[in-house]
Structure 1
Amino acid sequence: MMRSLLAALGFLTRVPVPAWVFKDAGATNASLAWYPTVGLLIGGVLWGLAWIGSSLPPLLLAALLLLVWTGLTGALHLDGLADSADAWVGGLGDRERTLAIMKDPRSGPMGVTAVVLVLLLKFAALASLPLADTAIWLAPMLARTAITAAFLSMPYVRSQGLGSALTHSPRLPCIVGVLAAVAVAACSGWHGARALLAASVVFACWRFACMHRLGGMTGDTLGALTELAEVVVLIVLV
């Protein structure tokens, strides 16, 4: 159990974990169930920093939080967002062309634009929210819960992608992890209910788009899902 949690933490964040964790295939497979928990931990760190820095000017505090948020995750999901934006526009509706563009490590104008706009929206939302509010931890938790839900409900279309190792994750622990995160959000009052609804709408729209264009998902589209879910949850709560 601890190995799978460390595997999830090591993959989704830049928090150092022992190297032997990633050599354990069983831990990697089981790590998917812990994604919502890692999201909650990320949110807890941000909430704590917001509380500590509550006396700072809102714009400065929002910028510092966004810096920590991006650094803590290593911009992993922003990279997926950029690749997905380039591929969705440049793919011109063609599945193979879309997948080929996603593999290109270079970011085009659409990818850069998508990253800038998402970061700008996050910054504006953080500057507008009471940062000790539940939103600061609900956003990362629900976004990573969406990743687990995606693996439960969609095929992974790349055989050698970063997420291919998670396609054989035990389903029952993943379902429990998703339901636990949903319960936590639902028990967080009106803010939690709104956040849950917003994340669910993003997930439904993202799933429809991926199934229609690709017949499934890739690691890049999961990164895009994470970023979009986070920013929409923040905006809705503002």
Structure 2
Amino acid sequence: MMRALLLAIGFLTRLPVPAHAYDDAQAKAASLAWYPLVGLLLGLLLGVLAWLLRDTPSLLAAALLAAAWVALTGALHLDGLADSADAWIGGMGDREKTLAIMKDPRSGPAGVVALVLALLLKFSALASLGPAPWAALLLTPTLARAGLTALFLTTPYVRSGGLGSALSGAPSRACGLALLLTAVGCVLFGSRGLLAFLVTAAVFGLWRQACMTRLGGCTGDTAGALAEMLEVALLVALAVR
């Protein structure tokens, strides 16, 4: 159990974990159930930083928060967003072409535009949250990682040997419990939590359907894109609420 948690932290963040955590093959699949908790940990760290920056001008504080967010995650999901944007446009509706473009390490114009827009929207939303952004900072990374758990739990993985292939055997009961606890946690935030849950469900459903239609399943890149789209949508929704 502890190795699975450490593996989830090591994969989803740049926080240091013991090297032996990566040696357990069974822990890789079990780590999926811990994704929402890792998201909550990210939210707590960002919340502490926001508190330390409480007297900093809002634009500068938002920029520092956005930079810390990228640093803590190592831009892992931003890479998936860029690859998916390039592939979705360049693939022209063709499954094999879409998969081939996602394997290309280079970023095309669509990927660059997607990255710029995602970071700009995050920065603007963070700057608009006001002096008490705690609910958004906790809900957003938690629900985005819960979306990943739900995606791998309910969607076929279409690449053999990809980064996400080890997650296909994740324990469904533990993952289901993690998702249930995440949903219950949203209740603690009242109307903000309900809004965040509905936004998460909508974005997840639309992107999963798009992936099933185009690819017949998901890849690591589409999972990363989902996490970024969820974070952007949640921050914007909670900022304009």
Please give the TM-score of this superposition, normalised by the length of structure 2. Answer: 0.97
CA drift of 1:186 comes to 2.2
Name the % identity: 60
Report the equivalent of 1:134.
135
Contact 2:28 2:166 in 1 (8 A): yes
- Aligned partners of 2:152 and 2:6: how far apart in 1? 19
1:235 paired with 2:230, answer no
Aligned to 2:78: 78
Matches within 5 A, 1:71-220: 71-130=71-130, 131-220=132-221
Match of 1:30 in 2: 30
Aligned counterparts of 1:169 and 1:180: Cα–Cα separation in 2: 17
Structure 1 stretches of 4+ moved >4 Å? none
The Cα shift of 1:152 comes to 1.4
CA deviations 1:178-228 (Å, max 9, x no partner) are 111111012211111101111111001101100000000000000000000
Contact 2:141 2:231 in 1 (8 A): yes
Cα deviation, residue 51, structure 1: 1.2
Counterpart residue type for residue 53 of structure 2:
G
Measured in 2, the distance between the counterparts of 1:50 and 1:186 equals 23
Distance, in Å, in 1 between the alignment partners of 2:29 and 2:212 is 24
Q: Distance in 2 between matches of 1:29 and 1:118?
A: 29
Q: Distance in 2 between matches of 1:56 and 1:227?
A: 26
Paired letter, 2:64: L
Asked whether the 8 Å contact 1:9–1:15 carries over to 2, the reply is yes
Q: CA deviation at 1:19?
A: 1.1
Aligned mates of 2:73, 2:238 — CA distance in 1: 22
Task: Report the residue type matching 1:83 in the other structure.
Answer: D
Aligned length: 238
SS of the residue corresponding to residue 106 of structure 2 reads coil
In the TM superposition, what is the alpha-carbon distance from 1:160 to its structure 2 partner? 1.1
Offset, 1:62: 0.2
* Counterpart AA for 1:150: L
Partner-residue secondary structure (3-state), 1:134: helix
Correspondence 1:53 to 2:60: no
What RMSD in Å do the two structures reach over aligned CA positions?
0.7
SS across alignment from 2:169: coil
Q: Match for 2:88: what amino acid?
A: W
Asked if the contact 2:13–2:72 (Cα under 8 Å) also holds between the matched residues in 1, the reply is yes
The amino acid across from 2:4 in the alignment is S
Answer yes or no: is the 8 Å Cα contact 1:51–1:132 preserved in 2. Answer: no
8 Å CA contact retained: 2:153, 2:170: no
Give 1:115 deviation, angstroms. Answer: 0.3
Paired letter, 1:237 = L
